[in-house]
Structure 1
């Protein structure tokens, strides 16, 4: 495993292009585009204000930079550096911006004040080719309210009209309305297409446990409710094959629905004590390296001291039963640290990684083929994020330290990022090839290069 030098970064805004050839990094007002193979600067753009969001077009030819405070979106071209586009939403407050699947339209969600000091949202669709503008009224301010099918043909929008939830489905080729229907939700919180684009999942806020499955033509296929009164759904994830829908809940369980009957086939619990001998518990441990000081020339250089005297991390297999660190949530506070807040399926559909927020230092890996717990990774620090390799069953995770951790069916490894200073990794993202990752801290980032493992 090799690492690049550290590059300056702001806002955790570092993104690989979809074709894998470029890496975009933001530094305050500046957008730096580097060549992935050499990491040399390919383009440098200067925006009108501090960049708060970036996104590549699907064909990797354009990149948008959103400056929400100014209500401005700037678009840059990699093929024609002299060309640029500026979209100014004016007095309307810009709250979100994204590309359409064709990479030639930009969807801006704006907020403007109407009578009685009420706020109303509107989506504006800007065409880069024809410069035409289309409007979508009444989008709902929720966590996940605008989603596209994987093939880019359809868009679903969560809406709120007259104190009732609706979903509209549009054809992306001409932005015509295909279906419009109301939902059986009290407060629609999110929507998500199955990867095959045939089913749309919609779920209620945490106050109402309800998941609804709709067909492309708006028919309600099924609804699921695990319980009624306590806090309900916290996270939702489709498997890449569209065969399973995983629902993470505030009761610290994950429920798996199947695509045939849309009924629960199993539920995964996250107890604080691992007792099964069939589960492998990898525990991260720190050890100080032994250094023969008499062989050193003093004073050592900073780099030498950093490499010789810093603690090293590795995994050890714990003997069951194992008690994990459990943090009791504060019941009288909003957004309690409880429940399954992170879910991710591996690309081959064989594994599911989860995190129970009450046990912040552990990642759970479930075998979907056998519907059982396979591995628990117990870290020294709380999990900041994890992501699966897009090409093989290999999970990368970070804990706000200068180490990156990898799990695969072959085992676990903890790797220290070399260099001076305190590089605290709080986010990471895989390259589309699975051969590298970008590791992000608050102020810096670096690229980690890996050797591809053989999948047996």
Structure 2
């Protein structure tokens, strides 16, 4: 793995373009675009004070007072075709839009008195969603017509909406007259309302749309462990509550890539796998201090960073046979307890499920899932144990069994099931990889390139990239 130099960034706003040819980052009030093959700067833009010319503007006027860092970029992102880039400044309530191949073209959206919490691209790359403060409305701005569509009273700007996989429909959780409701909007008809129906939730926490777009999962807040499965017509297909009721709600739910299952995790260290036929638990995975025989425990070697001076590649210690790990048991009757599934994530093919439990922060659990032709018996495949708590773990978006992990150290950790053993069979491999830099560097977050061949590694105020080394072909 080859590493680049370290570059400055703010807000962890570092993104590869959809084609993986460019990488974008924000540094205070400046956007920088680099080529991924050379890391040479291709474009830079600075979002200064508003100018006299406004391409897109809201009817209301901003009246805020600028602070020292009010100009800083709070959100950034690529359009789906890499043609446009947005840079939002939430404190100023302004979204700037730039065109990669035309440095002189730009647009600006002023959200006005309702403020701005979040701005992001719609899947078509020609509309921008702007969520206002206090849940007042979400505004969909069109770059093609310079017009806006308003939808009132969204519940959550971060986890209360979804687009269907084909981007045809936009699903939004709303609150009208103190009741949870769901709105279905047709994106091909300027976000025209198609259906509006009440949600069975009393205090909706989040939602997740199935990959097929046929089903919508909605669940209650922390006080109630209840998940409902709805059709897009609003009919309740099923409701799940475990027995006995753990007393706390759901933390995460993740659809299987086929839509045949949904994994549900709460605060009780159990993962329930619901099937799409009965919407009941077909299997339950539970955190245990005992790692059974046949499951590999990969343990990070002690002091390996010091011995390699942060510039080496070293394998995890591979421990077989029954092993034990320490679990911090918590009292759920007390507030602010660290427990439950903090992350649930399927790999690309749905054959592996990654789980991180908050009361064992140094561990990553990987579960094996059978193919449709095999008996449905999920099992724990391996556990990766680290010296420090895991901060981020992400599957490769292209390869089925390739995982990257970071723990706030000068390193990145990888696990893969694609290594070829001595007998020609595939086997697992886990490695600790130091980030070669002379400065203090703590990898706090990671982000894959869309082609799965590179990583962006982010510290608090800096980032670097790591790319796979391709073997030379000798003819």
Q: Is the 8 A contact 1:438 1:445 kept in 2?
A: yes
Q: Which residue of the partner structure matches residue 136 of structure 2?
A: 121
Aligned partner (choices 362, 373, 396) of residue 404 of structure 2: 396
Q: Which residue of the partner structure matches residue 260 of structure 1?
A: 277
Aligned partner (choices 104, 118, 125) of residue 82 of structure 1: 104
Q: Which residue of the partner structure matches residue 118 of structure 2?
A: 96
* Partner SS state of residue 112, structure 2: coil
1:332-352, Cα deviation, whole Å (9 max, x unpaired) = 765421100101101011100
Cα 1:189–1:342 change in 2 (3 A) is same
Q: Is the 8 A contact 1:252 1:340 kept in 2?
A: yes
The aligned length equals 430
**Residues in 2 aligned to 1:352 and 1:22: alpha-carbon distance in whole angstroms:** 30
Q: CA deviation at 1:229?
A: 5.5
Q: Which residue of the partner structure matches residue 51 of structure 2?
A: none
Tell me if 1:151 matches 2:169.
Answer: no
Task: Tell me which moved more, 280-289 or 213-222.
Answer: 280-289
Q: Is the 8 A contact 1:284 1:313 kept in 2?
A: no
Aligned partner (choices 121, 131, 140) of residue 146 of structure 2: 131
* Partner SS state of residue 240, structure 1: coil
1:39-50 equivalent positions in 2, closer than 5 A: 39-48=39-48, 49-50=71-72
Cα 1:412–1:288 change in 2 (3 A) is closer
**Residues in 2 aligned to 1:83 and 1:289: alpha-carbon distance in whole angstroms:** 47
Cα 1:129–1:289 change in 2 (3 A) is closer
**Residues in 2 aligned to 1:290 and 1:168: alpha-carbon distance in whole angstroms:** 55
Q: Is the 8 A contact 1:121 1:141 kept in 2?
A: no
1:99-110 equivalent positions in 2, closer than 5 A: 99-110=121-132
Q: Is the 8 A contact 1:232 1:251 kept in 2?
A: no
What TM-score does the superposition give when structure 1 sets the normalisation length?
A: 0.90
**Residues in 1 aligned to 2:438 and 2:429: alpha-carbon distance in whole angstroms:** 29
Provide the aligned C-alpha RMSD in A: 2.1
**Residues in 1 aligned to 2:267 and 2:318: alpha-carbon distance in whole angstroms:** 29
1:207-236, Cα deviation, whole Å (9 max, x unpaired) = 111111122222222111114361120111
Q: Which residue of the partner structure matches residue 380 of structure 2?
A: 373
Aligned partner (choices 401, 421, 431) of residue 413 of structure 1: 431
* Partner SS state of residue 81, structure 1: strand
What TM-score does the superposition give when structure 2 sets the normalisation length?
A: 0.86
Q: CA deviation at 1:90?
A: 1.6
Q: Which residue of the partner structure matches residue 427 of structure 1?
A: 445
**Residues in 1 aligned to 2:86 and 2:305: alpha-carbon distance in whole angstroms:** 46
**Residues in 2 aligned to 1:325 and 1:71: alpha-carbon distance in whole angstroms:** 47
**Residues in 1 aligned to 2:185 and 2:410: alpha-carbon distance in whole angstroms:** 44
**Residues in 2 aligned to 1:70 and 1:60: alpha-carbon distance in whole angstroms:** 25
**Residues in 2 aligned to 1:155 and 1:452: alpha-carbon distance in whole angstroms:** 41
**Residues in 1 aligned to 2:128 and 2:10: alpha-carbon distance in whole angstroms:** 24
Q: Which residue of the partner structure matches residue 251 of structure 1?
A: 268
Q: Which residue of the partner structure matches residue 352 of structure 1?
A: 353
1:392-437, Cα deviation, whole Å (9 max, x unpaired) = 2111111111111111122111111111122111111111111111
Q: Is the 8 A contact 2:290 2:322 kept in 1?
A: yes
